[in-house]
């Protein structure tokens, strides 16, 4: 019960009363608050799980998942001394984030390469981030419901789906865990001091930077939080001295950020991920920066038509509309910034929330352009907290004026969260597999070369080769120098045996990205198929000169070198036999095959015809000439030579197989121009030998129709 004590005050003369609180009441209040906080945390967790439960059935997607997990043997091996050494030293995929690599290794060690558990770990980290965000905001501000609103919006906003539902973005949810832990430990340090608490701040920041370098701006954010809500900076009392002390306090943290930034730039430069000024001029970057900021604000308020990749629409300052659009975006940013500065005393949360948004986006806004995207939803995982704080505390301020205002604010807050839930669930479904992801991107964006390239690969894996090639060609119409689209087009063309076009596409891929081992290897194999063995050997040489290529492709390169040696030996032996017996057809025929295998097609055909002149009615040279003609894409001529071989020897297996294969090829490539006069006899001949051949019947019908024959 209250205790009254009367006495003389410090100033003298007055009396004062001290009320001693009832211990039971205090304990009951603390217990009630703890129970309420726990209920909020449980509710936030359930809300998050409801929105993201579908990820447990999601697949890996063909967007970095193969690079990070599916095709990464170091990750498959789990946590070993070698894999840990690799994680700490590698710049693989253009990033230095050893903690992220280790987290993927642990997943593979526990669950293997099964997508469901990997997705659930991402979801678990998002749930933990949501709960910790509520805890740290409430501890900083003492405002339970405003903090709960920020955490709820963080949990269910559709812009965060990419960071959670995409396994390769583990680095986002993991680094944000350490971001929030750093805020928690820093609040502890700010209120109670002690050097070892500051050491914990440095530790959590270091771990976060090892998960993703997005935390490089966190020391500046901590300086903002010193002003509000921590209240460590009071301008009325030695403001300059306080600001200097607080800034100096962040120097060790800024040093960590600087080290991480330098490492990241080095790794990304080594992978060729940083765009040059020639590729992305300053004018283009400036236009993209201001438009990206405004686009992020729009997506915060109206999160629809989201995509995994937003192609850059270049601002080249060629039209008045482009000037007006960029100028309007810049004016909006300046106006918002001016309002934040004017409200720095009356509403410090506006100032802090706005600068949180602006500053945390700087590493990924495009000043230093990494990748091809104009912007990305994943970049808003942390920056979105700033605007959410503004909205929550504005609601708190407006709701304090009356009971009716408070009810309106509560209803609006609930409606905002409820509106996000179906949008988020729909966006989560977009990430269920590669086909859904790329199809959705094509539906909501324009000129999206990356989405066409991705969907092309989906169609190729589905054996829908014509559609795959179409998507690749559309992608290249939008971005002709795309290394990825050219590479995948070359692979698809090679699989359909369009060797010349495949070589052209892969040559463009290698020119666009000379250090890409897979493109150079694919080019070497196509050149080998085209019998351009010297050029293939040169590509193999460049491949095995790289550490990755040496490990994977040395055996194949050696095999080709041995094959060339054997062919050259056959050439030598055939020439020797021709010198000793110039009128014999057999050595001429053998020489022709050796020349063909060496890619010397004109010489091979000449020697085959000499063999025919020395030995009439010999079907084998006709088969060889047909093979040479097909390699030179002279399909009608090849069919004619196969037909002549079958006239001499109707049951010659090599001629039947060759002609049948050629007709099947032509059936799948209607766009190729052929000579009906040469192909008609060959098709009839094959039908005589194989009456049930559907391809021969189809081709014969096509040829007769083009000739106007009713047969």
Q: What is the DSSP string of 437-496?
A: HHHHHHHHSSS-HHHHHHHHHHHHHTT-HHHHHHHHHHHHHH-TT-HHHHHHHHHHHHHT
Instruction: Give the pLDDT of residue 11.
Output: 35
The proportion of the chain whose per-residue pLDDT surpasses 90, expressed as a percent, equals 68
Whole-prediction pTM: 0.86
Asked whether residue 417 is domain-assigned, the answer is yes
Are 414 and 454 within one domain? no
In a domain, 347, yes or no: yes
Return the minimum-mean-pLDDT range out of 352-366, 397-411, 436-450, 605-619: 397-411
Write down the mean pLDDT value for the chain.
Answer: 88
Residue 640 pLDDT grade (very low, low, confident, very high; cuts 50, 70, 90): confident
101 and 221 belong to one structural domain:
yes
Of 515, 531, 562, which residue is a domain's last? 562
- For residues 598 and 657, membership in a common domain is answered with yes
Q: From residue 695, how far is each of 662, 665, 683, 692, 700 by CA, in Å?
A: 10, 9, 9, 9, 8
Cα distance between residue 50 and residue 71, in whole Å: 31
Indicate if 235 and 182 belong to the same structural domain: yes
Instruction: State whether 190 and 101 are in the same domain.
Output: yes
Average pLDDT for residues 688-711, to the nearest whole number?
56
- Could you read off the pLDDT of 391-427 as tens digits, one per residue? 999 999 988 778 889 999 999 999 999 999 999 999 9
Q: Is residue 113, in this structure, part of any structural domain at all? A: yes
What pLDDT sits at residue 14?
40
Q: Is residue 437 part of a domain?
A: no
> Residue 704 pLDDT > 60, yes or no?
no
Q: Which of 75-79, 165-169, 329-333, 514-518 has the lowest mean pLDDT?
A: 514-518
Domain finish residue from 430, 464, 490: 430
Report which of residues 401 and 289 the model is more confident about: 289
Cis peptide, bond prior to residue 213, ω within 30 of zero: no
- Return the biggest CA–CA distance within the chain: 137
Asked if residue 55 has pLDDT above 80, the reply is: yes
Confidence at residue 13, expressed as pLDDT on a 0 to 100 scale: 38
698 has pLDDT over 60: no
SS3 readout for 237-249: CCHHHHHHHHHHH
What pLDDT is stored for residue 16 in this prediction? 42
User: Which stretch of 59-73, 389-403, 496-510 has the lowest confidence by average pLDDT?
Assistant: 389-403
**In a shared domain, residues 220 and 329:** yes
Number of domains composing the chain: 3
Average pLDDT over residues 5-18: 39
Q: Is 502 found in the same domain as 631?
A: no
Residue 358 and residue 451 in one domain:
no
In the structure encoding, which two tokens stand for residue 679, read together?
């192909």
Candidates 311, 392, 327; CA nearest to 356 is 392
Do 160 and 151 form a contact (C-beta atoms < 8 A)?
no
Task: Tell me which of 102-116, 473-487, 660-674 is least confident.
Answer: 660-674
Residues 49 and 129 in one domain: yes
Please report, for the domain that includes residue 515, its CATH number. Answer: 1.25.40.10
Residue the block writes with tokens 């495009």 = 366
Same domain, 274 and 174: yes
By CB atoms closer than 10 A (0-12, 13-18, 19+), residue 395 is buried
Hey, which residues does 370 pair with through a beta bridge? 274
| Residue 607 belongs to domain spanning | 575-706
- What's residue 632's pLDDT? 85
Lowest mean pLDDT among 33-37, 72-76, 692-696: 692-696
In this structure, the number of other CB atoms found within 10 A of the CB of residue 252 comes to 14
- Kindly tell me if the per-residue pLDDT of 15 is higher than 60: no
- The pLDDT of 241-254, averaged and rounded, is 91
Mean pLDDT, to the nearest integer, of 26-45?
A: 86
Angstrom distance (rounded) from CA 238 to CA 232: 12
| 252 phi/psi in degrees, rounded to 5 | -60, -35
Question: 332: pLDDT confidence band, cut at 50, 70 and 90?
Answer: very high
Write down the pLDDT at residue 1.
42
Let me know if residue 17 belongs to a domain.
no
Q: What is the pLDDT of residue 269?
A: 74
Same domain, 251 and 388: yes
| pLDDT score, position 243 | 85
What is the average pLDDT across 637-659? 86
131-135, 541-545, 546-550: which range is least confident on average? 546-550
Rounded-to-integer distance, Cα 300 and Cα 402, Å: 28
- Range of lowest pLDDT (18-27, 393-402, 488-497): 18-27
| Tens of pLDDT, residues 208-219 | 999 999 999 999
**Rounded (5°) CA angle 302-215-137:** 65
State yes or no: pLDDT of 678 exceeds 90.
no
Is 435 part of a structural domain of the chain?
A: no
- Angle (CA) 166-170-171 rounded to 5° is 130
Mean pLDDT in residue range 670-683: 62
3-state secondary structure 53-76: HHHHHCCCCCCCHHHHHHCCHHHH
Check residues 273 and 364 and name the one with the higher pLDDT.
364
Mean pLDDT over 76-84 rounds to 95
**Percent of residues, the chain, with pLDDT higher than 70:** 86
Structure tokens at 27: 């304990």
**Of 384, 404, 430, which residue is a domain's last?**
430
How do residues 109-146 score in pLDDT, each as one tens digit?
A: 999 999 999 999 999 999 999 999 999 999 999 999 99
350 and 426 both lie in a single domain: yes
DSSP characters over 75-131: HHT-S-HHHHHHHHH--GGG---HHHHHHHHHHHHHH-S-HHHHHHHHHHHHHHHHH
Whose structure tokens read 């539902």?
Answer: 165
| Conformation bin of residue 317: beta by default, left when phi > 0, alpha when psi is -120 to 50 | left
**Burial level of 129, CB count in 10 A (0-12/13-18/19+)?**
buried
């Amino acid at each position: 019960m209250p205790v009254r004590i009367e006495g003389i005050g410090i100033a003298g003369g007055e009396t004062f009363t001290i009320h001693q609180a009832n211990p039971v009441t205090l304990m009951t209040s603390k217990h009630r608050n703890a129970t309420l906080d726990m209920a909020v945390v449980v509710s936030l967790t359930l809300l998050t799980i409801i929105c993201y439960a579908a990820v447990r059935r999601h697949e890996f997607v063909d967007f970095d998942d193969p690079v990070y997990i599916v095709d990464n043997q170091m990750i498959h091996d789990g946590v070993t001394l070698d894999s840990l050494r690799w994680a700490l030293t590698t710049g693989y995929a253009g990033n230095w984030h050893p903690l992220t690599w280790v987290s993927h290794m642990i997943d593979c060690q526990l669950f293997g390469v099964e997508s469901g558990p990997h997705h659930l770990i991402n979801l678990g980290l998002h749930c933990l981030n949501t709960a910790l965000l509520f805890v740290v905001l409430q501890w900083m501000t003492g405002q339970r419901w405003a903090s709960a609103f920020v955490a709820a919006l963080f949990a269910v906003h559709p812009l965060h789906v990419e960071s959670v539902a995409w396994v390769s973005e583990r680095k986002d949810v993991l680094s944000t865990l350490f971001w929030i832990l750093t805020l928690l430990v820093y609040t502890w340090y700010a209120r109670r001091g002690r050097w070892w608490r500051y050491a914990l701040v440095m530790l959590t920041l270091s771990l976060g930077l090892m998960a993703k370098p997005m935390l490089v701006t966190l020391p500046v954010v901590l300086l903002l939080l010193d002003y509000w809500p921590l209240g460590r900076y009071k301008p009325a009392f030695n403001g300059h001295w306080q600001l200097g002390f607080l800034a100096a306090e962040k120097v060790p943290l800024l040093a960590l950020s600087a080290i991480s930034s330098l490492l990241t730039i080095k790794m990304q430069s080594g992978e060729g991920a940083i765009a040059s000024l020639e590729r992305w001029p300053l004018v283009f970057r400036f236009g993209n920066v201001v438009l990206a900021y405004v686009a992020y604000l729009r997506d915060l308020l109206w999160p629809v038509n989201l995509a995994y990749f937003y192609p850059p629409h270049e601002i080249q300052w060629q039209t008045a509309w482009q000037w007006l659009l960029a100028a309007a975006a810049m004016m909006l940013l300046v106006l918002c910034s001016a309002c934040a500065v004017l409200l720095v005393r009356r509403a410090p949360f506006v100032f802090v929330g706005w600068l949180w948004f602006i500053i945390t986006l700087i590493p990924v806004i495009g000043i230093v352009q990494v990748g091809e995207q104009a912007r990305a939803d994943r970049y808003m995982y942390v920056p979105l907290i700033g605007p959410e704080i503004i909205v929550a505390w504005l609601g708190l301020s407006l709701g304090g004026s009356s009971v009716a205002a408070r009810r309106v604010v509560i209803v609006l807050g609930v409606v905002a969260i409820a509106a996000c839930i179906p949008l988020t669930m729909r966006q989560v479904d977009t990430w269920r597999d590669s086909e859904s992801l790329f199809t959705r991107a094509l539906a909501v964006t324009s000129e999206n070369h990356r989405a066409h390239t991705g969907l092309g690969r989906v169609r190729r894996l589905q054996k829908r080769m014509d559609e795959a090639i179409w998507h690749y060609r559309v992608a290249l119409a939008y971005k002709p120098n795309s290394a990825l689209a050219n590479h995948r087009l070359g692979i698809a063309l090679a699989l359909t045996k369009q060797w010349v076009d495949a070589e052209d596409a892969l040559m463009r891929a290698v020119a666009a990205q000379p250090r890409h081992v897979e493109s150079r290897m694919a080019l070497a194999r196509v050149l080998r198929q085209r019998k351009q063995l010297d050029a293939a050997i040169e590509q193999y040489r460049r491949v095995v000169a790289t550490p990755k290529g040496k490990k994977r492709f040395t055996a194949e390169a050696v095999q080709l070198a041995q094959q060339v040696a054997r062919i050259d030996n056959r050439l030598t032996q055939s020439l020797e036999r021709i010198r000793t017996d110039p009128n014999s057809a057999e050595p001429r025929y053998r020489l022709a095959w050796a020349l063909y295998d060496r890619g010397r097609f004109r010489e091979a055909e000449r020697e085959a015809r000499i063999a025919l002149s020395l030995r009439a009615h010999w079907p084998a040279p006709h088969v060889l000439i047909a093979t040479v003609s097909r390699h030179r894409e002279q399909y009608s001529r090849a069919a004619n030579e196969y037909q002549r071989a079958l006239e001499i020897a109707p049951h010659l297996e090599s001629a039947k197989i060759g002609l049948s294969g050629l007709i099947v090829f032509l059936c799948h490539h209607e766009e190729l121009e052929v000579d009906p006069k040469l192909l008609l006899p060959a098709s009839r001949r094959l039908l005589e030998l194989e009456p049930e051949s559907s391809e021969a019947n189809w081709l014969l019908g096509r040829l007769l129709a083009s000739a106007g024959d009713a047969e």
